[in-house]
Chain A
């Protein structure tokens, strides 16, 4: 068990380093030299420039620069915002709370809808309800998320005037963005859950439970659901990255002050340290969630142990 844990952690480090390398290369590839990028429109005086070049190691070979970059990131020196002069890491952490709230709320909505529909679907496969639910699931992940957000704003904020059209402040402001993202995400959960439940449904213990005349609700909830839940939780965790992608777009539509809208606003303002700081942070979060899911999976499902230790 401990060995598996170490093995995962051991894989995490190179992945993190490669990811940092990708971001490093992208930052390097930005038009204009990095000092101009850091300082925005105005050019620093030559002596400042020289000092900066030395401090940032811009006169050193690329690999050394990369190592210096990794050191800076690990020490929490993520640069400063060109616009406000604020520490990027601080800015990112502050914004992240809002994004996390949105992510948690929409995962909750998506999981609730997805699991309920999957249960109905798997209970009577190929029934009319099953067919409709399958179409609805595909429809769910075919919706352009920004369009869906605008439609909800139009209906609930403009016409019915029930909910605020955006920004942050209390639960009421969270409802529309969370529903937007939740509806776009439930389809994948429903599909995976249905498949996973169908597999469990054919197991002997389910057939036996039904044969003994246990009522269907009990069979579904305590036999099928319980055994199908592990892969479902995993898929929800592993699709966290997709959810974050959706969150970025959703936030810009609702002017919701999370990391996504921060990245977008910074792209428009050419505030590159903030852009790449935000991207890096989200990527690290997604990686870490994936790692945790993997480890969790191992703890929850004893069947995995046998398979994975062979790897």
Chain B
């Protein structure tokens, strides 16, 4: 009996996901966006594996060859070379590692930190809520980049600082969002029912409320991923993030800036890589929101 219900549940999840995938693959823009995101993820994964298993060495992207410097795109170097004669295409592909690493780590920090605080504040309510809301308001008055800059100033430049800075700077959004969602959600009958059968507060929060508010949080996480990439690139561009010779798209542009007049390609392509990835993530985020927002779904089916 029990396994039957379980199977039925699985089937339902599969069905909703199918519908979801079908809706996603509906239009060309979304398909392109999806493949760019998946492509970047695979590039990051494959290059990491290749480096880790020592199939390729760091010299592939960091090896200096001055005879080759600042070459325009050609058959041998499809995107040209940079000021140290390194192939730009190779560096852009290896640069995906940093972009994906920053998304995975900083967004996780932001989600976990923000959602935990927001959940507790919204659920407990009262004075706790009041105080937390004030703190979140105050933190959200900081333009995110300034808060990130301040944190990087304190921690010193480097990839870890950037990840922590973005994670902390983006956490208040999740706190505010989840707090609002919980405050509404906890009034529902199912919460009362769970309480009535003696479920603990933690259980109610994690098992009952969290799944019901996961949708909007997921959408926000998608948008936060794209801003995380933009901020990492900006901070690395300013020389406060990833340090050479590790290729990060932002750092590549910083290095290419001095040669902008003679070798514009070295600055055009890394920027395009960032733009395409961020655009794709944002496109998917918009789509996701439309699908998850019942108000919007109702609107669409009406027209």
Contacts and interface: CB of A to CB of B under 8 A. Distances in A.
A31 B161 CA distance: 14
Nearest to A268: B239
20 contacts: A22-B139, A31-B154, A31-B156, A138-B279, A142-B279, A144-B250, A146-B234, A146-B237, A150-B253, A150-B257, A150-B271, A151-B271, A153-B260, A158-B260, A244-B143, A245-B144, A245-B146, A246-B145, A248-B146, A275-B149
B280 to A, nearest CB: 8
Interface stretch (A12-20, A42-50, A111-119, A214-222): A12-20
A15 B139 CA distance: 9
A138 B282 contact: yes
Interface of B: 29, 134-135, 137-146, 149-154, 156, 226, 230, 233-234, 237-240, 250, 253, 257, 260-261, 264, 267-268, 270-271, 274-275, 278-279, 282-283, 286, 303
Nearest to A264: B238
A151 B282 CA distance: 22
Contacts, number: 138
A154 interface: yes
Interface in A210-266: 241-242, 244-246, 248-249, 252, 263-264
Query: Closest 7 A-B residue pairs measured CB to CB?
Result: A147-B271, A245-B145, A18-B138, A142-B279, A245-B143, A142-B278, A287-B141
Contact of A15 (B138, B233, B271): B138
Interface in A1-27: 11, 14-16, 18-19, 22-23, 26
A135 B283 CA distance: 8
Contact of A267 (B144, B226, B240, B261): B240
Most buried by B among A11, A26, A144, A241: A144
B141 A286 contact: yes
Interface string A116-144: 00000000011000000001001101111
A279 interface: yes
A88 to B, nearest CB: 15
A246 B230 CA distance: 11
A51 interface: no
A290 B260 CA distance: 39
Given A11-B134, A151-B268, A282-B146, 18 more contacts: A11-B137, A18-B137, A18-B138, A22-B142, A144-B230, A144-B237, A144-B275, A146-B233, A146-B250, A147-B275, A151-B271, A153-B260, A154-B260, A241-B144, A248-B146, A267-B153, A283-B142, A290-B141
A276 B150 contact: yes
B105 to A, nearest CB: 20
Contacts of A151: 268, 271
Contacts of B303: 125-126
A87 B230 CA distance: 33
A28 B260 CA distance: 40
A265 to B, nearest CB: 11
A117 to B, nearest CB: 16
B134 A18 contact: yes
Most buried by B among A138, A242, A252, A290: A138
A272 interface: yes
A176 to B, nearest CB: 14
B260 A18 contact: no
Given A19-B142, A151-B271, A244-B143, A135 B154 contact: no
A29 B142 contact: no
Contacts of B137: 11, 15, 18
B120 to A, nearest CB: 18
A283 B154 contact: no
B275 A142 contact: yes
Interface string A270-305: 001001100100110011001000000000000000
A92 interface: no
A147 B138 contact: no
Interface in A97-114: none
Contacts of B260: 150, 153-154, 158
Q: Which of A150, A246, A287 has the most CB of B within 10 A?
A: A150
A189 interface: no
A144 B142 contact: no
A279 B264 CA distance: 33
A78 to B, nearest CB: 15
A30 B152 CA distance: 10
A154 B259 CA distance: 11
Nearest to B277: A142
A148 B279 CA distance: 14
B10 to A, nearest CB: 34
A99 B226 CA distance: 26
Contacts of A264: 149, 238
A145 interface: yes
Contacts of A263: 146, 149
Given A158-B260, A263-B149, A290-B141, A135 B29 contact: yes
A19 B138 contact: yes
Given A147-B274, A249-B145, A154 B150 contact: no
Contact of A143 (B143, B238, B264, B275): B275
A159 B274 CA distance: 24
